[in-house]
């Protein structure tokens, strides 16, 4: 039974990558977006790029996962293709895990491009590669689950985009991408700590810039909890749509 | 023989209004069972409950031996569904779509290609296997969608308005395929608002109106509820309704252009009356025809839904995608 569910997840990933994510326009956007982002910040302040790069990698992951995934899921809902999956002998959780993983792979492609630009062209170092990869994987999975949650809660593609922007843009400013969380007023610091990107940025910063603190374990735990919460909520919402 | 479907008091409320209202019916194995009714009668909601796309508010059903409330994943393993809209993946080819479906339904790896190849040949899609689904015509999309519903060797196939929106040739071709399906021992549950389609295809029909089943019977016994003969006469010029009023003593009269249809138990008096009418009004009878009541006549009598309402829906449906 578990093997069947795992196989189904894999087939949904393959289908989504082939039908949606790995289309030439999406691949070129996936390369162009981090490239433009890196160039813009390098030209503005060449010496400050290293400091910003963990935040920019997290930001690339955020946009990479949520933007396309929201379109894919809401589009499939609209044309009835998601129902096609729901007719198959697999659980709703399996369907969502397939969707989340395919979105995460696309997000990883974009965040990975940003990381390669950061290392290859800007000369940055990844001080703890293994922990960095774990942090990045958890980041794309969590943010992809957030994208899935948004997508199953709305009906139209434009609603998904609008709703995504409600949390995407505040997260960029609150979660330490440009400005350290500690430098913000206390109410905003509290707000930052209920947003997953804060833990992603902190984990990526620790693993790519200097020494890893005990705090990393807290970041990773927080990301796992966010991931599970988003998955459970998205599954419940999808189940509710059957009532 | 165990039934393929046993629905008992199946009910679905939307905002406290019953879309399907305590319906009970059985579908025998290997039969084509039709759900006939106007739009909004509850046909699609019934299918959605039976295949696990929505949860019943009350009641339940046993599909292929499994309770839809308790073992819906098992139900899904054994049924194929052809929704009203062909909802496969536009960006994948016909072959890729069927392969994806076979994987999703856990068809053993060694059987997948053989089964897909056989379905593509049966449905005359082999030459188009590398075409993207999104580029196919509506009729071909429908065929691929039916093939996708069969790729896992399903015991029961649910078809929701399978010919809606298809041109005459595609619809006829699809009906032919459905007839062929029956020979393979598959149970077919079909919803339609095309009365002729239900008449041609179905072994038994359930008429559903406003969420309630009005009657379940074979098309022939359904027609017998109209215990009259139909005498049709066509004249050489249009008939005014007022002229035909004189025939009403013999039964119900329908006038449409040059055609008069008389529903009567007394056929000889009807023919006599038509002859007198033609002489009195100097009309020439082009032809006279006697028919048994159609399923449409029975439908109208049983449901009170006017046949022109169904016709309008049919025409509207024909324009749908």
CA-CA-CA-CA dihedral for A239, B159, B63, B10, to nearest 10: 70
Instruction: Assign A190 a pLDDT band (cuts: 50, 70, 90).
Output: very high
- Chain B CA closest to residue A94: B104
Within an 8 Å CB–CB cutoff, is residue B100 touching chain A?
yes
Instruction: Assign B318 a pLDDT band (cuts: 50, 70, 90).
Output: very low
What count of other Cβ atoms lies within 10 Å of the Cβ of residue A167?
A: 17
Instruction: Assign B317 a pLDDT band (cuts: 50, 70, 90).
Output: very low
- Chain B CA closest to residue A19: B91
Q: Look at residue B319 in the predicted model and tell me its pLDDT.
A: 33
CB contact under 8 A, B76 and A87: yes
Angle at B79 between CA B172 and CA B316, to 5 degrees: 40
- Chain A CA closest to residue B55: A243
Residue B316 has pLDDT above 70, yes or no: no
Tokens encoding B101: 């479906």
Of A142-146, A206-210, B112-116, B137-141, give the lowest mean pLDDT range: A206-210
CB contact under 8 A, B76 and A8: no
Q: Which chain A residues have any C-beta within 8 angstroms of a chain B C-beta?
A: 4, 7-8, 11-12, 15, 18-20, 23, 79-81, 83-91, 242-243
CB contact under 8 A, B88 and A83: no
Candidate from A8, A11, A80 with C-beta closest to B87: A80
The predicted model scores a pTM of 0.83
State pLDDT tens for residues B74-85.
999 999 999 988
Within an 8 Å CB–CB cutoff, is residue B85 touching chain A?
yes
Give chain A positions within 8 Å (CB) of B87: 79-81, 83-84
When divided into structural domains, chain A yields a total of 1
- Chain B CA closest to residue A85: B104
- Chain B CA closest to residue A23: B91
Sign of the dihedral defined by the CA atoms of residues A146, A150, A153, A157, in that order: negative
Instruction: Assign B313 a pLDDT band (cuts: 50, 70, 90).
Output: low
Domain of A86 in residue numbering reads as 2-242
**Stretch B305-315: mean pLDDT, rounded?**
58
State pLDDT tens for residues B38-68.
888 899 999 999 999 999 999 999 999 999 9
- Chain A CA closest to residue B51: A87
CB contact under 8 A, B73 and A7: no
d(CA B158, CA B179): 14
**Stretch B242-249: mean pLDDT, rounded?**
80
d(CA B20, CA A87): 20
Q: Look at residue A153 in the predicted model and tell me its pLDDT.
A: 92
What count of other Cβ atoms lies within 10 Å of the Cβ of residue B304?
A: 9
Candidate from B55, B92, B106 with C-beta closest to A243: B55
State pLDDT tens for residues A75-128.
999 888 999 999 999 999 999 999 999 999 999 999 999 999 888 877 778 888
Distance from CA of A243 to the nearest CA of B (A): 5
CB contact under 8 A, A81 and B54: no
Candidate from B54, B91, B104 with C-beta closest to A8: B104
Q: Return the SS3 of A69.
A: helix
Which own/partner pairs from B130-134 qualify as long-range (CB within 8 Å, at least 24 positions apart)?
Answer: B130/B93, B130/B94, B130/B95, B131/B93, B131/B94, B132/B90, B132/B91, B132/B92, B132/B93, B133/B88, B133/B89, B133/B90, B133/B91, B133/B92, B133/B93, B133/B94, B133/B97, B134/B90, B134/B91
Centroid of chain to Cα A92:
21
CB contact under 8 A, A19 and B103: no
Name the more confident of B273 and A243.
Answer: B273
Q: Look at residue B307 in the predicted model and tell me its pLDDT.
A: 56
Q: Average pLDDT, whole number, for chain B? A: 87
d(CA B156, CA B81): 9
């Amino acid at each position: 039974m578990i093997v069947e569910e795992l196989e189904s997840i894999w087939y949904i990933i393959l289908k989504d990558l082939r039908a949606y994510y790995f289309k030439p326009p999406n691949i070129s956007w996936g390369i162009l977006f981090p490239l433009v982002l890196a160039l813009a910040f390098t030209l503005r302040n060449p010496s400050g790029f290293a400091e910003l790069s963990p935040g920019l990698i997290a930001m690339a992951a955020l946009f990479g996962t949520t933007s396309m995934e929201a379109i894919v899921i809401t589009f499939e809902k609209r044309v009835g293709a998601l129902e096609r999956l729901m007719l198959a002998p697999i659980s709703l959780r399996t369907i969502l895990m397939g969707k989340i993983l395919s979105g995460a792979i696309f997000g990883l492609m974009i965040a990975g491009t940003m990381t390669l630009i950061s290392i290859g062209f800007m000369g940055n170092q990844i001080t703890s590669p293994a922990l960095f990869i774990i942090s990045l994987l958890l980041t794309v999975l969590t943010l992809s689950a957030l994208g899935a949650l948004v997508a199953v809660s709305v009906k139209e593609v434009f609603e998904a985009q609008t709703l995504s922007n409600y949390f995407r843009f505040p997260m960029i400013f609150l979660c330490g991408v440009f400005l350290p969380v500690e430098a913000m007023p206390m109410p905003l610091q509290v707000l930052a700590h209920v947003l997953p990107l804060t833990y992603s940025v902190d984990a990526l910063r620790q693993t790519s810039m200097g020494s890893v603190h005990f705090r990393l374990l807290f970041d990773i735990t927080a990301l796992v909890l966010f991931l599970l919460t988003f998955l459970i909520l998205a599954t419940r919402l999808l189940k509710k749509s059957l009532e | 023989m165990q039934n393929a479907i046993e629905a008992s008091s199946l009910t679905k409320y939307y905002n406290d209004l019953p879309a399907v209202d305590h319906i009970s019916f059985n579908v025998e194995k290997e039969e084509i069972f039709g759900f006939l009714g106007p739009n909004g009668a509850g046909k699609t909601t019934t299918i959605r409950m039976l295949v696990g796309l929505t949860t019943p508010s009350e009641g339940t059903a046993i599909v292929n031996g499994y309770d839809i409330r308790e073992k819906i994943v098992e139900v899904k393993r054994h049924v194929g569904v052809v929704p009203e809209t062909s909802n496969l993946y536009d960006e994948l080819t016909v072959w890729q779509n069927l392969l994806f479906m076979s994987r999703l339904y856990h068809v053993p790896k060694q059987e997948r290609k053989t089964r897909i190849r056989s379905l593509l040949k049966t449905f005359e899609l082999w030459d188009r296997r590398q075409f993207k689904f999104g580029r196919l015509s509506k009729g071909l999309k429908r065929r691929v969608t039916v093939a996708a519903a069969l790729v896992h060797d399903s015991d029961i196939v649910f078809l929701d308005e399978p010919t809606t929106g298809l041109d005459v040739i595609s619809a006829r071709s699809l009906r032919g395929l459905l007839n062929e399906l029956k020979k393979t021992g598959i149970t077919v549950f079909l919803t339609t608002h095309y009365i002729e389609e239900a008449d041609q295809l179905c072994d038994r029909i359930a008429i559903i109106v406003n969420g309630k089943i009005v009657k379940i019977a074979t098309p022939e016994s359904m027609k017998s509820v109209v215990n009259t003969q139909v005498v049709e006469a066509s004249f050489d010029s249009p008939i005014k309704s007022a002229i035909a009023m004189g025939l009403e003593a013999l039964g119900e009269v329908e006038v449409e252009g040059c055609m008069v249809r008389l529903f009567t138990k007394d056929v000889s008096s009807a023919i006599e009356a038509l002859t007198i009418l033609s002489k009195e009004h100097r009309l020439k009878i082009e032809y006279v025809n006697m028919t048994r009541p159609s399923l449409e006549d029975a439908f109208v009598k049983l449901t009170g839904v006017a046949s022109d309402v169904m016709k309008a829906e049919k025409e509207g449906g024909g324009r749908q995608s």
